Amino acid sequence: MSWWRRQRVPLIALLAAAIAAAGVHVWLDVLPSSEADRPVIVEVERRGEIAGQTIAVDSVRWDEFDAPVDSRTVSVLLDATGGKEATMCGAFTLSEVDGPRVWLDARADLDVPSDAGERSCLEESLSYDIFVVFLVPDDAVGPFHLDIPDLDSRIARFTVEP
């Protein structure tokens, strides 16, 4: 009797176990990540609800801070209500309305006073100001989208123009 004939039952069991393991991997790891919750973008005017609080755009300014050559700054001051339901926000981003470019808050890289306002949303606080500064190339003219994500896969999108 050949080795293949003697080992056919264990080989069939091994093949069935490998197929079952691959199926479990696809079911538990691959399918959920391909169907992952995409963030819901909520377009807001000047005031919007995000992270358990109301956030409003107070002002948007060009060149409030010194910038490297061939770039400029966009400063955004926001009012936040705070409160018991307030939670943290994710990273604020600024993007071109009609273009692919996106910028992160560059406040830490610039000479921005620490008392200008908070860098992001605060948890369970009184009303406060949020102050973010973006470093953009000279050819960025606006309008821009200011995106503020919360912890529940929602993004408040403000359209701002300096």
Residue boundaries of the structural domains of the chain: 3-34, 40-160
Half-sphere exposure of 14 (CA within 13 A, CB side): 5
Q: What is the pLDDT of residue 143?
A: 93
State whether CATH 3.30.360.10 applies to domain 40-160: no
Name the DSSP letter for residue 29.
I
Per-residue pLDDT tens for 105-119?
998 888 888 888 898
The residue length of the chain stands at: 162
Per-residue pLDDT tens for 37-58?
677 888 888 888 888 899 999 9
Q: What is the pLDDT of residue 32?
A: 65
User: How many Å apart are CA 47 and CA 131, to the nearest integer?
Assistant: 15
Name the DSSP letter for residue 16.
H
State pTM to two decimals: 0.74
